[in-house]
Amino acid sequence: MKEMDDLIEVSNILMGPNGCPWDIEQTFKTLQPYFLEEVHEVIEAIDSEESGKISEELGDLFYTVVFCAKIAEKEGHFTLEDVITTLREKLVRRHPHVFSDLAIESIEELKVHWEEIKGKEKAHEKRESLLDGIPPTMPLIQKAQKMIGKISKRPKFILDSKGKEDRESAFGKKLLDLIMEAEKEEIDAEGALRREVKNLEVSFREFEKKTTGADS
């Protein structure tokens, strides 16, 4: 794709000997905060439902991936082509119902096969728990829901939120119960809360504009 080739050419110039001094100095670790920032900007753009904004923010996030791959290439770790090839192979491997003759009769059956394939892929990592692999830096509500989803696959484990009954623990239990309910109903708890907080912010800002000077 010509557009992709043009982007790679721009990236090569920026990171070349006569390129941008800031770009040239970046590393995997220095780019970490930019990954987080760009992901949050994509999420915000999606919530805005503005196509132009979503497209722009996806571009920024995509270039952060390209940028990181070019750093890896410069340091001799891997190339952007390696990233794309690994992704393509994973997509084909994880969709045997599309790229082979495996028959799938339901979404639930599809999920079972998906987890089996992922389990085989991760076997070399010698994971000791179903919870291994959950990123520790995930937002807490999202992390809790991810944990609950995995824990629920072990029906002999009693999934509840028991704890000592002080005020803080009781409140934490209520939050956890709501996240359990969200997982059961297949609701993105993090996204639901984020959108309601945004609605609250918009409503209060409108209230402030209407009541400015009313109390003075």
Distances, alpha carbon 156 to alpha carbons 51, 131, 151, 183, in Å: 46, 16, 10, 18
Two structure tokens written together for 10: 């721009």
pLDDT for the residue numbered 24? 94
Q: Show the domain range for 40.
A: 2-91
Across 88-104, average pLDDT: 90
Distances, alpha carbon 29 to alpha carbons 13, 25, 33, 68, in Å: 22, 11, 8, 10
124 part of a folded domain:
no
pLDDT for the residue numbered 99? 92
Same structural domain, 77 and 148: no
Task: Inform me whether the pLDDT recorded for 40 exceeds 50.
Answer: yes
Across 97-122, average pLDDT: 84
More confident residue, 180 or 108: 180
Same structural domain, 151 and 216: yes
pLDDT for the residue numbered 158? 67
Two structure tokens written together for 154: 């072990």
Q: What percent of the chain has pLDDT over 90?
A: 62
Which three-class secondary structure string do you get for 167-189? HHHHHHHHHHHHHHHHHHCCCCH
Same structural domain, 145 and 215: yes
Same structural domain, 81 and 141: no
Q: List the single range of 156-165, 193-202, 204-213 with lowest mean pLDDT.
A: 156-165
Residue 101 pLDDT level (bands cut at 50, 70, 90): confident
Q: What percent of the chain has pLDDT over 70?
A: 95
Sign of CA dihedral 38, 42, 47, 50: positive
CATH assignment of the domain containing 44: 1.10.287.1080
Same structural domain, 87 and 141: no
Do 1 and 62 meet the contact criterion of CB atoms below 8 Å apart? no
**Mean pLDDT of the chain, nearest integer:** 89
Distances, alpha carbon 145 to alpha carbons 105, 138, 189, 192, 194, in Å: 27, 11, 7, 12, 15
More confident residue, 129 or 55: 55
100 part of a folded domain:
no
What are 164-182's pLDDT values in tens digits?
A: 678 888 898 999 999 999 9
148 part of a folded domain:
yes
Across 4-22, average pLDDT: 94
Same structural domain, 85 and 140: no
What is the DSSP track for 101-134? Answer: S----SHHHHHHHHHHHHHHHTGGG---STTTTS
Which of 63, 91, 119 delimits the end of a domain? Answer: 91
Which of 62, 91, 120 delimits the end of a domain? Answer: 91
First-last CA distance in the chain: 62
pTM: 0.72
What are 71-93's pLDDT values in tens digits?
A: 999 999 999 999 999 999 999 99
Two structure tokens written together for 202: 């918009």
pLDDT for the residue numbered 216? 47
121 part of a folded domain:
no
129 part of a folded domain:
no
119 part of a folded domain:
no
108 part of a folded domain:
no
Which of 61, 91, 121 delimits the end of a domain? Answer: 91
Which of 91, 87, 88, 95 has its CA nearest to residue 114?
Answer: 95
Residue carrying the six token digits 């096969």? 113
How many domains are there within the chain? 2
Same structural domain, 84 and 138: no
Q: Residue 207 class from Cβ within 10 Å (0-12 exposed, 13-18 middle, 19+ buried)?
A: exposed
Task: Inform me whether the pLDDT recorded for 124 exceeds 80.
Answer: no
102 part of a folded domain:
no
